[in-house]
Chains A and B, each alone.
Chain A
Amino acid sequence: MIFLLSILTILNYNSNSIEINNAWVRPAGKGMNSALYFELKNSSANSDELFKVSSNAAELVQLHKTVNKNGLMEMKEIKSLKINGNQTIKFAPGGYHVMLIKLKKDLKTGNKIGFKFYFKKAGIIKADAVVKSY
Chain B
Amino acid sequence: MRPASEAELAEAVAGSVGPLVIRGGATRFVGGAEGEVLQTSGLAGVVLYEPAALTLVVRAGTPLAEVEALLASERQRLAFEPPDLRGLLGREGVSTIGGVAAANASGPRRVQAGACRDAMIGVRFVTGRGEVVKNGGRVMKNVTGYDLVKLMAGSHGVLGVLSEVSFKLQAMPEAEATLVLEGLDDAAGLAALRRALGSPFDVSGAARVAGRSLLRVEGMAGSVSYRLGRLRQMLAGDATVLEGTASAALWREVREVTALAGRPGDLWRLALVPSAAAEVAAAVGGEAVFDRGGGLVWLLLPEGQGEALRTAIAGRGQAALIRGAGASPFAPEAAEVAALSAGLKAAFDPRGILNRGLI
Do chains A and B interact in one complex?
no
Report B's interface with A, CB cutoff 8 A: none
Report A's interface with B, CB cutoff 8 A: none
